[in-house]
Amino acid sequence: MNVDLFTISLIMVWQFGSSMVIFLAGLKQIPEELYEAARVDGYSRIRMFFSITLPLITPVLFFNLIMQMIGAFQDFTTAMVITKGGPLNQTYLYALKLYDDGFKYFKMGYASALSWVLFIIIMALTALIFKSSSLWVYYER
């Protein structure tokens, strides 16, 4: 396994702390009365998770999915600081190529075009996630 890629992946996992705070806030918003009613009805903990907790935190999952996807596409500093693309370009991320073309090789037009492509990819994936959200995101009414 490539050590550089593993290190970058480990650092990206380390950055999930902010997402966990958002998850915790979402979990705190679930009314305790729902769990009490489920206990009275004889629900097991697993059934309570799948019937109450998971449906009510799907908006939080939706938000975190979009934010983490955008962050992953734009990740630059980790690869730049650790390897600058690494041996054999194994950690040469898209954002690092964009930076190199713009500021190392002074091809500003090409770097600008790359940034527009990145914007279009992120917008397309975000639109796809928004389109599919009606199938899996539950909003309380």
According to the model, what pLDDT value does residue 26 have? 96
113-118: long-range contacts (C-beta < 8 A, 24 or more apart)? 118/73, 118/74, 118/94
Q: What is the pLDDT of residues 121-131, one digit of tens each?
A: 999 999 999 99
Digit-coded pLDDT (tens) for 38-67: 999 999 999 999 999 999 999 999 999 999
Concatenated DSSP letters for the chain?
Answer: --HHHHHHHHHHHHTTHHHHHHHHHHHHTS-HHHHHHHHHTT--HHHHIIIIIHHHTHHHHHHHHHHHHHHHHT--HHHHHHTTT-GGGTT--HHHHHHIIIIIS--HHHHHHHHHHHHHHHHHHHHHHHHHHHHH-----
Residue 1 above 70 pLDDT? no
Q: What are the residue boundaries of the structural domains of the chain, listed by start?
A: 3-136
Write the class of the CATH domain 3-136. Answer: mainly alpha
pLDDT of residue 141: 64
**Is pLDDT above 80 for 110?**
yes
